[in-house]
Chains A and B, each alone.
Chain A
Amino acid sequence: AQSVAQPEDQVNVAEGNPLTVKCTYSVSGNPYLFWYVQYPNRGLQFLLKYITGDNLVKGSYGFEAEFNKSQTSFHLKKPSALVSDSALYFCAVRLMMDTGRRALTFGSGTRLQVQP
C-alpha cells in the first residue's frame, strides 16, 4: 500500500528565511508526487509535482521540491519565506503505473507559520 508521512505538524520560520516542509513516501513502484496548499476555509491548490526527469521541481509562488529516491523523500522548499505563505501544506502520492487507481494518498498536513 502507498502512504505518505509528514513528520512535522507545524513549521515556524521568520519572513525572509528559507523554509523546508518535509515529506517521505512509501510505494512499491515509481511514484507521482505532489504538493498542495490549503488556505483557511478554502480547498486544496496544486503547487507542484514530480513525475519523472529532473529531481528538482519548480512550482507556483516560488516553491520547489527535491525528489530523493534513495531517501524516499520529497521535501518542499522556498529560498525566502513570505508571511502570505502561511497555510496548511499537504504532500501526496500516486503510483505512476497504477492507472486503475487515480486517487491521491495524502499526508496529514503541515502548518507553516511565517512570522514577520
Chain B
Amino acid sequence: ETGVTQTPRHLVMGMTNKKSLKCEQHLGHNAMYWYKQSAKKPLELMFVYSLEERVENNSVPSRFSPECPNSSHLFLHLHTLQPEDSALYLCASSPMGQGDTGELFFGEGSRLTVL
C-alpha cells in the first residue's frame, strides 16, 4: 500500500471510446501529478495540480483532459485516443510547504491499451 491508489490497473479501449483514470491519495498532500511511461522513453510529465489548480500542462493533446476536484482526487479523462497513447499512466502526489521533502509518491499505475 503506497498511499496513492490508481484505478483501473488495466484498461483496454477503442479509439472512439471515452474512459477515465482515477487517482486517490491518502497522504494529505497538496500537489498531484500525471506522468506517462512508454517503453524505452523517459517518464513524461503530463500535468501538475497544486492546491487543485493546474499549474503545469506539458503540451499534452486535448484528447487527454485532467480534473482535480479536490486535493485527494485526480482524474484523467480519455477521449478518441490513438494507439500510440498506449502506455502506463502514473499518478503521484507530494506535500507542499514545510512538509515538502522533494520526493514524489507514486501509485501503481494504470496500464492503458488503445486498439
Chain A contact residues, CB within 8 Å of chain B:
4, 9, 32, 34, 36, 41-46, 49, 51, 90, 94, 99-109
B42 lies within 8 A of A46 (CB): no
Q: Chain A residues near B42 (CB, 8 Å)? A: 4, 105-109
In chain B, what residue has the closest Cβ to A51?
A: B102
Given known A51-B102, A108-B40, contact A42–B94 (CB-CB < 8 A): no
B106 lies within 8 A of A44 (CB): yes
* B114 contacts A by Cβ under 8 Å: no
A49 lies within 8 A of B102 (CB): yes
B31 lies within 8 A of A102 (CB): yes
Measured between alpha carbons, how far is A9 from B39 in the docked complex, in Å? 12
Given known A102-B48, A102-B50, A108-B41, contact A94–B107 (CB-CB < 8 A): no
Measured between alpha carbons, how far is A106 from B56 in the docked complex, in Å? 16
A-B contact count (CB 8 A): 63
Measured between alpha carbons, how far is A103 from B94 in the docked complex, in Å? 9
Q: Chain A residues near B55 (CB, 8 Å)? A: 100
* B2 contacts A by Cβ under 8 Å: yes
Q: Can you name 27 A-B residue pairings with CB atoms under 8 Å?
A: A32-B102, A34-B102, A41-B109, A41-B111, A43-B2, A43-B106, A44-B90, A44-B104, A45-B2, A45-B106, A46-B104, A46-B105, A51-B101, A94-B102, A101-B48, A102-B31, A102-B94, A102-B96, A103-B33, A103-B48, A103-B56, A104-B45, A104-B103, A104-B104, A105-B42, A106-B35, A106-B43
Task: Give the bracket for the number of chain B residues in contact with chain A.
Answer: 20 to 34
Measured between alpha carbons, how far is A103 from B44 in the docked complex, in Å? 11
Q: Chain A residues near B48 (CB, 8 Å)? A: 101-103
Closest beta carbon of chain A to B20's beta carbon, Å: 19
Closest beta carbon of chain A to B111's beta carbon, Å: 8
In chain A, what residue has the closest Cβ to B47?
A: A103
Measured between alpha carbons, how far is A36 from B2 in the docked complex, in Å? 14
In chain B, what residue has the closest Cβ to A43?
A: B106
* B100 contacts A by Cβ under 8 Å: yes
